[in-house]
Every structure is written in structure tokens, then in C-alpha cells.
Structure 1
Amino acid sequence: MNREELQMLGFEIVAYAGDARSSLMKLLHEVRHGNFDHVEDYLKEADENLKRAHNAQTKALSEEASGNNLDIGFIFVHGQDHLMTTILLQEIIQDFVELYKEKYNK
């Protein structure tokens, strides 16, 4: 895998993680206002995008595990950063959903 291909994977990871983050933030906005109608939809949407981002990441991991030395640039690192922070956000927002359910007794 050359540097350009790795950069494209980085962009792919950023895009999918960004879409997941957007879904999670919409979800948080909804539950703050007591609306729990679309919780599962938003969580599923975020999870699907995180899986896509993770699959892109796995391509690079597989390359390196196969013994190929990767020329990792900032774009790929930026993608990794987006992915990991969005996974953390997902975990935190799932806790917030439960807390807001308790608050609104749903």
C-alpha cells in the first residue's frame, strides 16, 4: 500500500467517523429534550459508520501485519484520532441516554 492509498484510507476513516459523530450528537440533542423516539436509529447509524471506519483501518493494519512497511502520514493519523474519539463519544453518549431516560422516566 503506497502513501496515497493510505491517505485515501485516512480520508475514508475521517468521513465515516464524522458521520457517526454527527449521528451521536443529534441523538444527544434529542435525549436532552426528552425525545427518545429515534435513539435506536441514531445508535445504529453511528455504529454502521464506525464499522465502516474500522474496516478501513483494518486494511492498513492487515498490510502492516503482512510485513509491509507503511508510510503513514498526518492524514491517516488524523483519521485514527477521529475514529478513536468517536468510539469514546459513542460509549459516553450511551451512558447519557440512560441518564436522560431516568430523568424523564422513560
Structure 2
Amino acid sequence: MEKIIFQLITLSGEAKSYSLEAIQLAKKADIIGAKERIELAEDKINSAHRFQTELIQKEAGGEDMKMSLLLVHAQDHLMNSIMLKEICIEFIDLYESINDC
């Protein structure tokens, strides 16, 4: 289970990094590059969701999934990376509209 938890943390961290890179690119008027980074972030989030789903399926199948601080931490990372990606998309849209004016 720890291997899955660390995958959640790693993938979520990578998604966060791609999202923040996207904002920096959008700020420099590289909207295409920004949107590419968001796609990479989305890929990492989707991979993390697959690991999360694996844990949920194990628990639903009757396997005892002990709640740990590490699991809560991983879930927190995933939730924050998802929220950050969504906020970054809004920023990219704003930078794109500013640059079009």
C-alpha cells in the first residue's frame, strides 16, 4: 500500500509542477506551451486517479485498508494538484484574453 501512496504523492507533485510552469508560460504569452503543460498535468492527475481507484477497489473488495497519516497526506496532495490545475486553466484563459486585446 505504501508504494501506491508514494505514487499518489509523486504524480500529484509532478502535476503541480506542470501547472505552475503553465502559468509562467502564459505570463510570457506562450499560451500553446501553457496548454501543453496543463495537458501534462492532467495526464499525471489521471495516473494518480488510477492508483487512488486501485485503493478504493481493494477496500470495496473487503481488504482492510488502514487509514494512515501518509494516505491522508497523499490524498491532500492529489486534491490540491487537481484544484491548482483548474485555477491555472483560468489564469491561462485570462492571460490569453489579455494578449488578444
Give the TM bin, normalised by the shorter chain. Answer: over 0.9
What amino acid maps onto 1:47 in structure 2?
A: E
Structure 2 counterpart of 1:13: 8
Q: Which shows bigger deviation, 69-78 or 92-101?
A: 69-78
TM-score (norm: length of structure 2)? 0.92
* CA–CA distance in structure 1, aligned partners of residues 25 and 86 of structure 2: 17
In structure 2, what is the Cα distance between the partners aligned to 1:22 and 1:66?
A: 34
Between structures 1 and 2, the one with greater helix share: 2
- Alignment partner of 1:69 is 2:64: yes
**Aligned residue number for residue 30 of structure 1:** 25
Which amino acid in structure 1 is aligned with residue 25 of structure 2? Answer: E
Q: CA deviation at 1:69?
A: 2.0
- What is the aligned partner in structure 1 of residue 90 from structure 2? 95
**Structure 2: distance between partners of 1:34 and 1:84:** 28
Task: Show the counterpart of 2:44.
Answer: 49
- Whether the 8 Å CA contact 2:15–2:42 is kept in 1: the answer is yes
Matched, 1:58 2:53: yes
4+ long deviations beyond 6 Å: none
Contact 1:20 1:47 (C-alpha < 8 Å) held by counterparts: yes
Q: Structure 2: which 5+ residue stretches go unaligned? A: none
**Percent of matched pairs sharing the same residue:** 26
Gaps of 5+ in 1: 1-5
Higher mean alpha-carbon deviation, 69-78 vs 19-28, is at 69-78
The two structures have a TM-score, normalised by structure 1, of 0.88
What's the counterpart of residue 75 of structure 2? 80
